[in-house]
Chain A
């Protein structure tokens, strides 16, 4: 009994490892076929870029505004008002909107909206055996389908991060207005505390998020199987893996960024 349970657990563990390994292999193949000529994926890249942007802009706008107004805006404004230092909210928003919440919300929205759409799309092609047909025709699915999605999602995630930061900061402005503050102090502490390291850290983190999401979602779409529930289950697993992966990566990245850049830790 115990031996059987142990064997089952070992089996599921090895399945997880095999899956993780396959994703790494897919990443490597994607990177290699992205740089090795020929480059047939230009049109698809532009199409995917527009597709992701079109799907993501509205959920992202609402999400980032709501999250930044509630969590750092009103929650932090409470203590700051008690201390009579509401102008410091601008400095606090460097931490939240730029360094932390902006990238994370962007990643959640991109994986939940564009990532699921990619998995559903590729999964549908896999179920209809279009991917096999492409291979028979001599068209490499990695080069023609995965690479454009990979590149498009990296660019889109980084660009949407800028949108998330702008709307996050505007939520901070609204929070200041709710507390009847003038905005001069907000902008003064915001611009004196924001450093160029914060911005590139945020954008670099988002680019990596886009890469993680694209690889996980493409992999899950291309390996969808199992009848009627197959594509749905693929989408389910893809979004779970990409969200957890993104958050874990973001923890490591933030810890390294903060520990190696002491200039981020001085208050101005």
Chain B
């Protein structure tokens, strides 16, 4: 039995540690301790926007195109091509956008944080911070979480717009079974502001977990440059599983009992 159960066991192990670490970090942001380093938080938000926004939107654009063609061909098969908007409305807003956001954030931001903080850890910069009297968790982790909460909701909302545009291009311009007006009629009929809000909650829950996981694996990295690489890889595993579980929970909570359809009574 050479370690087939190592992954789940290590994962459970990490889960408890990360929950403890995450509550510490979130508590520091919530209680306002992170505001002592508000400038650093703003700087991190700037790094987030300039470093990740374009790649997030590009990724979301690709997934929006996929939602579009899958929906268009599916409803062509059903003999109701004008209802492609139903599929894209559900796919874009409720499911694909949170998942796409989660995937690309864990790939770009999560592993980036691990590499950055892990490098600080193994070159003893974190110990140095402690020596000069700066609380390292607040300065490094809480500011990053604060930055994520400042910048990412807007990035998410713009991403939804990008995705809508991509789906429109795929359905109306690429496949072309339905006219522009027919598509937008159905598309806007099958969504409402609460859906947008629920979707945003889903995405931000994923973003919070991803930042915390990144900080945890970076903060606890050990074993030289190689150790940083291993920690980065591990954080990605945890993030992928967490993104999917949060996505499912969000769907069950927000739309499980009531699909929120403009049909019937």
**Main SS at interface, chain A:** helix
Residue of A nearest to B237 (CB): A113
**A5 close to B (CB within 8 Å):** no
- Considering only residues 232-268 of chain A, those with a C-beta below 8 Å from chain B are 232-236, 239-240, 243-244, 247-248, 250-251, 254-255, 258, 264-267
Inter-chain contact B115/A112, CB cutoff 8 Å = no
Inter-chain contact B232/A232, CB cutoff 8 Å = yes
Report the separation of the CA atoms of residues A233 and B51 in the bound assembly, to the nearest whole angstrom: 14
Residues of A within 8 A of B11 (CB): 58
- How big is the B interface, by class? 35 or more
Report the separation of the CA atoms of residues A248 and B66 in the bound assembly, to the nearest whole angstrom: 9
**A55 close to B (CB within 8 Å):** yes
Inter-chain contact A267/B261, CB cutoff 8 Å = no
**B46 close to A (CB within 8 Å):** no
Residues of B within 8 A of A48 (CB): none
Q: Which of B224, B237, B263 contacts A79 (CB 8 A)?
A: B263
**A62 close to B (CB within 8 Å):** yes
B residues apposed to A, CB below 8 Å: 3-4, 6-8, 11, 55, 58-59, 62-63, 65-66, 69-70, 73-74, 76-79, 86, 90-91, 94-96, 99, 103-104, 106-108, 111-112, 114-116, 118-119, 122-123, 174, 224-226, 228-233, 236-237, 239-241, 244-245, 247-248, 250-252, 255-256, 259-261, 263-264
**A201 close to B (CB within 8 Å):** no
**A131 close to B (CB within 8 Å):** no
**A127 close to B (CB within 8 Å):** yes
Inter-chain contact B247/A247, CB cutoff 8 Å = no
Report the separation of the CA atoms of residues A116 and B123 in the bound assembly, to the nearest whole angstrom: 22
Inter-chain contact A127/B245, CB cutoff 8 Å = no
Report the separation of the CA atoms of residues A113 and B103 in the bound assembly, to the nearest whole angstrom: 13
**A95 close to B (CB within 8 Å):** yes
**A109 close to B (CB within 8 Å):** yes
Given A62-B245, A240-B55, decide whether A247 and B255 contact each other with a Cβ distance below 8 A.
no
